[in-house]
Amino acid sequence: MKYIAEPFKIKMVEPIRMTTREYREQTIKDAFYNGFSLRAEDVYIDLQTDSGTGAMSHTQWAGIMVGDESYSGARSYFHLMEATKEIFGYAYNQPVHQGRAAEKVLFPALTKPGQYWLSNTFFDTTRGHVGLAGGRPIDLVCAEGLDTTTYADFKGNADVRAMRTFINTHGVENIAGIVMTITNNTVGGQPVSVANMREVRELADYYGLLIVIDAARFAENAMFVKQREVEFRTSTITDITRETFSYGDIYALSAKKDAIVNMGGLIGVRDDEEIVEKIKANVIPFEGYLTYGGLAGRDIEALAIGLKEGLNEDYLAYRLGQSQYLAGLFDEAGIPYQTPVGGHGVFIDAGKLLPHIPWYQFPGHALAIELYIEAGIRACDIGSLLMDRDPVTGEPQQAASEFTRLAIPRRVYTQAHLDVVADALKSIKARAEQVPGYEITWEPRVLRHFTAHLQPVKH
Ligand code: F0G
């Protein structure tokens, strides 16, 4: 796999620190074997998330300087409104401080206690907010999405037939709506086709249900659509985005991903005034006045610029190319991952790489810890550790797949960094059976993976 060279050059650098294996062994122990508790300075290559970790352009940094900090009606807000209207085509667009703020504002306004929300797969915070609003999140991804070894163009798609059956079985009055996550983070940053969006729209129209697009990686999704869905081969990324969003009613967007800012989020409503009023009523007490929504004027200015930069095709080809390059190195080394590789990183199939570790000892987490000890690389579990306990029974829940996610920050690491990652994985693979599983010694009630304490299981 050829590396697609960066469509930018480097103007500012941030040194990173190399550490010894002994140092890292002690450091991760002190952090209760939870990568979130490490000091970032003790990490060499940080692939924990692609969220808020991107490098802004010189144009965005210039935007920071001209951001308007007025409490209401700031110039930067109107720049953001121009950008959002042009890109998404929705009547109402609301800045908020990040994606989960959008979720906190939206789900209580749209959920009656006990109602189900169906999704092609919820991201963990979205799942958490559905639960906090009294709703019940149900994942219904297409069968291909759960099979990590075979190729499919759009593994992020919803299983529309399963959604229809679920609605018929449980009664439409018990369904709050449908969330379409693009790209589908939890199944590996896998794209959703426009054809699937159309089918879900038909289903929602038939039953009179709302569609919320969880749009964190909408631009990467649009690039996949251009590359893989014949109908869109000659379309622009903006046209594909407009078309995709035309099948939703509302979007919630973490701008920390494809809009390449370190903080920010958005909510959009296509044309429902009643929902807009509910959103406004929640935004003002939780996030702040409507024209800043928890963000500084400079953040809003950088966001308005970043939203457009994130749609540039040369950038998106390079961006998807980084994951493809890393996956190509894994192919050579026989390291299993969600195939084909997704947009924002590589999801290693830790369940397959570490078959001696049962799901309740978290293979995805075990591999992440081993990568840190091996080479100072920080990754995270997208598997059974990420699954909170069943809110009703309190039982641990098994994830559909045990992934270790290597999320690639935008415009940050080079080809040589990716080579270091592949080498570390090769050396772990050579001694895979020595990698221990983990058990939880303390955990909070929701979103446990962020703060849980763990320890290696002794045999
Ligand atoms: N939706 C999706 C699909 C996400 O991936 C995330 C965040 C959110 C919503 C929440 O947005 O972080 O701005 O509050 N994902 C990050 C990740 C944290 O690492 O995948 P947020």
Domains (range + CATH), the chain: 21-50+312-456 (3.90.1150.10), 58-309 (3.40.640.10)
- Backbone φ and ψ of 337, nearest 5°: -150, 170
Active site residue 280: no
The CA 345 to ligand 1 mean position distance, Å, reads: 14
Tokens 């809110």 correspond to what residue? 391
Active site residue 352: no
Rounded-to-integer distance, Cα 96 and Cα 80, Å: 12
Rounded-to-integer distance, Cα 196 and Cα 218, Å: 15
Rounded-to-integer distance, Cα 240 and Cα 302, Å: 23
Q: How far apart are the first and last CA of the chain?
A: 40
Say whether pLDDT at 459 is over 80.
no
Tokens 């935004």 correspond to what residue? 283
Rounded-to-integer distance, Cα 372 and Cα 380, Å: 10
> Looking at residue 293, what is its pLDDT?
98
Here the tokens at position 406 are 């290597």
Active site residue 124: yes
Rounded-to-integer distance, Cα 110 and Cα 196, Å: 23
What tens digit of pLDDT does each residue of 313-371 get? Answer: 999 999 999 999 999 999 999 999 999 999 999 999 999 999 999 999 999 999 999 99
Here the tokens at position 373 are 């000890």
Query: What is the per-residue burial (b if ≥16 Cβ within 10 Å, else e) of 364-375?
Result: bbbbbbbbbbbb
Cross-strand partners of 141: 158
> Looking at residue 454, what is its pLDDT?
98
Question: CA angle, 342 as apex, 336 and 347 as ends, to 5°?
Answer: 40
With H, G, I as helix, E, B as strand and everything else as coil, classify residue 295.
coil
Active site residue 216: yes
Q: Please name the residues in contact with 368: beta carbons below 8 A apart, sequence gap of 6 or more.
A: 35, 378, 379, 380, 381, 404
Q: Please name the residues in contact with 373: beta carbons below 8 A apart, sequence gap of 6 or more.
A: 21, 24, 25, 28
Strands annotated E in 145-282? 175-181, 210-214, 250-254, 265-269
Count the Cβ atoms, other than its own, within 10 Å of residue 26. Answer: 11
Q: Please name the residues in contact with 38: beta carbons below 8 A apart, sequence gap of 6 or more.
A: 27, 28, 31, 372, 378
> Looking at residue 391, what is its pLDDT?
79
Q: Select which of 68, 124, 159, 249 is catalytic.
A: 124
Q: Select which of 88, 116, 123, 292 is catalytic.
A: 123
Active site residue 449: yes
C-alpha separations of 183 from 100, 108, 134, 155, 180 in Å:
16, 24, 26, 10, 9
> Looking at residue 50, what is its pLDDT?
98
Mean pLDDT, all residues of the chain: 97
C-alpha separations of 81 from 52, 73, 291 in Å:
21, 11, 10
pLDDT band at 447 (very low <50, low <70, confident <90, very high): confident
With H, G, I as helix, E, B as strand and everything else as coil, classify residue 439.
strand
Rounded-to-integer distance, Cα 174 and Cα 272, Å: 21
Here the tokens at position 437 are 């599983």
Active site residue 438: no
What tens digit of pLDDT does each residue of 196-241 get? Answer: 999 999 999 999 999 999 999 999 999 999 999 999 999 999 999 9
Q: Residue whose CA is closest, atom 18 of ligand 1?
A: 51
pLDDT band at 264 (very low <50, low <70, confident <90, very high): very high
Q: Please name the residues in contact with 91: beta carbons below 8 A apart, sequence gap of 6 or more.
A: 269, 270, 271
What tens digit of pLDDT does each residue of 14-50 get? Answer: 999 999 999 999 999 999 999 999 999 999 999 999 9
Here the tokens at position 103 are 């979720």
With the most atoms of ligand 1 within 8 angstroms of its CB, the residue from 141, 181, 185 to mutate is 185
Here the tokens at position 446 are 């929701």
Q: Residue whose CA is closest, atom 9 of ligand 1?
A: 99
The CA 297 to ligand 1 mean position distance, Å, reads: 22
What tens digit of pLDDT does each residue of 379-429 get? Answer: 999 999 998 888 789 999 999 899 999 999 999 999 999 999 999 999 999
Cross-strand partners of 139: 119
> Looking at residue 446, what is its pLDDT?
80
What tens digit of pLDDT does each residue of 77-136 get? Answer: 999 999 999 999 999 999 999 999 999 999 999 999 999 999 999 998 999 999 999 999
Tokens 């950088």 correspond to what residue? 302
Count the Cβ atoms, other than its own, within 10 Å of residue 34. Answer: 23
> Looking at residue 1, what is its pLDDT?
83
The CA 218 to ligand 1 mean position distance, Å, reads: 12
Rounded-to-integer distance, Cα 248 and Cα 90, Å: 10
Rounded-to-integer distance, Cα 233 and Cα 367, Å: 38
Task: Give the distance, in angstroms, between the CA of residue 266 and the centroid of all CA atoms in the same chain.
Answer: 15
Average pLDDT over residues 182-198: 96
Pocket of ligand 1 (CB under 6 A): 49, 51, 98-100, 123, 125-126, 181, 185, 214, 216, 254, 256, 265, 407
